[in-house]
A and B are shown apart, each in its own frame.
Chain A
Amino acid sequence: MNDATKRPNRPALALHVPEPPFRPGDTPDFSSIKVPPAGEAPRPDVAAEAEETFPLVTHLVRVLDDSGNAVGAWDPKLDPDTLRKMLRDMKTVRTFDDRMYRAQRQGKTSFYMKCTGEEAIAVAAATAMDPEDMHFPTYRQQGLLVARGYPLKTMMCQIYSNAEDPVKGRQLPIMYSDKKHGFFSISGNLGTQYPQAVGWAMASAIKGDSRICMGWIGDGATAEGDFHNAMTFATVYQAPVILAVVNNQWAISSFSGIAGAEQATFASRAVGYGMAGLRVDGNDALAVYAAVKWASERARTNNGPTLIEFFTYRAEGHSTSDDPTGYRAKGEAEQWPLGDPIARLKAHLVALGEWDDERDAALDAELDATVRAAQKEAEAVGTLPDQGFENIPSMFDDVFADTPWHLKEQCEQSLAEAREFLGHEPK
């Protein structure tokens, strides 16, 4: 650089590069995080002007207090069966995650991503919405499928890319898709689903339908242009959509400050667009349920979209390809001030007298057996190392509705190659 362009009478400019508070070797201490007491946040009417929610974008909607009691205006007053169903679904997700993580380590598949610590968010959101509402998820909302009763075996078949994989071995593990369960096809490209969710909601409004839609994104991906695109379109057309930001503090190795969290909450993005916004304790299943219910009623009554930031913590690595000890302090998840979502919901049910340790242990054992059984069934169909030589022509299907000549030619060529490699006719 040319020194002649510098002016000695001016202070040298300094670039700010955000750093997380703790790195490997540090002792994590989250006492600086402001956690308001449960029950403190006011609950506006669902038809309130967006600006009435603006104080809530820096607050934290919390229902469950430290003793497991549900308090305040946001208490959704759920019946014990619904609470138990949510607990069961959250535990199923965690059990499923653990087994599939291990399956990847055993070489049965190439890849897996857990959502440990974030189970309450997708499960409670699915519970709060109607079954016919649509979700545009990221790769960390497997709780939506579990809560909506999608077969665990089918999820596993997708993970193993086997003959019963609904997407025919074309997608990476966990990139589920199921129209019937209102779960839009997951894309590897971050943020793209956000404006798509808005478009789906616009379509529902164009047709005078009553269904609404929920779009999902992580804290890191809010930096994508599609976040802005979605927020703009959602407010311009007052689309009946709920836009969720799951702020789990980490985007692979980058802490949320790299996505812009140092100066403002993600929920506060809503303010500039004129959209209703809520910031919610993501480890509090009741708060998540109540916020999604509020936003869905708002959307359903043509009162416009809502941005909800779910404040949580990614308790484990980003994926099976990631080792978080390389960039963050050990023990952060244990120090996290909002605790564990499953333990908190359990404590609530116990406080209500609707649950106890015995039933909890029995449920754990039951879910372990259920997930194991599903895994056994899925593995009987096949695991990844055995895949890829059955029905080779299917690889060329669905690029277009009809297969054009150039793909037909390439299909013949690939079959000839497979024949040469296998030494026999491919199946």
Chain B
Amino acid sequence: MSSEVKTTGRNMIEAINDAHRVMMAKDPDIVVFGEDVGFFGGVFRATAGLQKEFGKTRCFDAPISEGGIVGTAVGMAAYGLKPVIEIQFADYIYPGYDQIVSEVARIRYRTAGEWTMPMVIRSPYGGGIFGGQTHSQSPEALFTHIAGIKTVIPSNPYDAKGLLIAAIEDPDPVVFFEPKRIYNGPFDGHHDRPVTPWSKHALSAVPDGHYTVPLGKANIVREGEALTILTYGTMVHVSLAAVEENGIDAEVIDLRTLVPLDIETIEESIKKTGRCLVVQEATKTSGFGAELAALVQERCFYHLEAPVERVTGWDTPYPHAYEWIYFPGPIRMKNALKKVMAA
């Protein structure tokens, strides 16, 4: 980043909001809509001020109909607009799933490129907020499994703005999951300690104006030699804290984009460290971590000194009262790190 670029301290919501503003000013074909997104500015304030600045036909409220929101966005993209739509919680994306899987993901393919779907589907996701069953889910594996969709999950304000701008500019449809636990500050898994706001974190220095963080590129957030941690979203911060607390020289990779995956960075790291821990909030069975573990096994088998371990949520619906038993926190991390290092 050039020293001349002006930055403003922003939390993740403010960074996401600014990405919208920058792109809507730049591209008149961008329309933003979803439930409570217009006048009110979104239940998490991600679209605050956009309707006032860009008018009601550029940013507007939608009926409570995820199938309708995604379905009309498909028609708008077919017309030539670039919809950036919001699904209020990832837990409520399922009524729109048919449109996403059967339509959005496949239209470029089934029309041999005659029609494309340059749209972004934003949705707050993840747990750690006492959200219970329907305000905590991490359904990324339901999208990474679908050919034709890109899946992006930022972990800090700088990436959130740069990745969202890149997603809006990308010619392909992008599902953009925002870990709502870290909207206001990074969360290291220690729920019994006060939360540090983003303002105390270097990555809250978000450049004004346009910049991108490329899709499909992972970020090594901590270099190390002892093992490689593959993670994304809130779990980046949980992993970093666990590494320091346990005094292990781990390399922590924030994947940022799950599809397409930055396989080169992953392979290079594991060939160096020989050990791998996969960390996700989502339930374990058939989660994205299973894909990561399989890829590492297929491509780095002879470099591995220990089985690939997974830290994940349990294979249950996300419970309310048992939040901190469910959430993959410091103890699960410590034990998994120990296991990978002991083998």
Which A residues form the contact surface with B (CB < 8 A)?
134, 136, 166-168, 170-171, 175, 177-179, 184-185, 187-189, 192, 194-207, 213, 225-226, 228-230, 232-233, 236, 397-401, 404-406
Contacts and interface: CB of A to CB of B under 8 A. Distances in A.
Interface in B70-119: 71-81, 95, 98-99, 102-103, 106-116
B263 A405 contact: yes
Interface in B120-153: 147-148, 150
A310 to B, nearest CB: 22
Nearest to B259: A404
A107 to B, nearest CB: 24
Contact of A203 (B81, B110, B111): B81
A168 B259 CA distance: 25
A167 B72 contact: no
A376 B227 CA distance: 65
A399 B147 contact: yes
Given A192-B98, A400-B260, A167 B73 contact: no
B307 interface: no
A232 B68 contact: yes
Contact of B108 (A184, A188, A204, A400): A400
Contacts of A197: 75
Contacts of A175: 110
Nearest to A409: B263
B109 A225 contact: no
A386 B95 CA distance: 40
B72 A202 contact: yes
28 contacts: A136-B75, A167-B110, A167-B114, A175-B110, A177-B114, A179-B115, A184-B78, A185-B107, A185-B111, A185-B114, A187-B106, A189-B102, A192-B103, A195-B68, A195-B74, A196-B71, A196-B72, A196-B78, A199-B75, A199-B77, A199-B78, A202-B76, A204-B79, A206-B58, A230-B71, A399-B148, A401-B170, A404-B259
Contact of A187 (B62, B79, B103): B103
B80 A203 contact: yes
Given A233-B68, A399-B109, A399-B148, 7 more contacts: A187-B103, A187-B110, A199-B73, A225-B67, A400-B148, A404-B216, A405-B260
B75 A196 contact: yes
Contact of B75 (A177, A198, A232, A401): A198
A71 to B, nearest CB: 38
Interface residues on B, range: 35 or more
Nearest to A215: B75
A170 B79 contact: no
B55 to A, nearest CB: 10
B108 A229 contact: no
Contacts of A397: 112-113
A304 B109 CA distance: 33
Contact of B99 (A177, A192, A404): A192
Contact of B113 (A199, A398, A404): A398
A229 B111 contact: no
Given A196-B74, A196-B78, A236 B63 contact: yes
B171 interface: yes
A206 B82 CA distance: 12
A240 to B, nearest CB: 12
B111 A195 contact: no
Contact of B31 (A166, A189, A206, A406): A206
Contact of B74 (A167, A199, A399): A199
Which residue of A168, A206, A207, A236 has the most chain B CB atoms within 10 A of its CB atom?
A: A206
B105 to A, nearest CB: 9
A66 B265 CA distance: 75
B172 interface: yes
A175 to B, nearest CB: 7
A128 to B, nearest CB: 21
B182 interface: no
A401 B116 CA distance: 9
A172 to B, nearest CB: 10
B103 A166 contact: no
A351 B62 CA distance: 52
A145 to B, nearest CB: 14
Interface in B38-87: 57-58, 62-63, 65, 67-68, 71-81
Contact of B103 (A178, A189, A198, A204): A189
Contacts of B170: 401
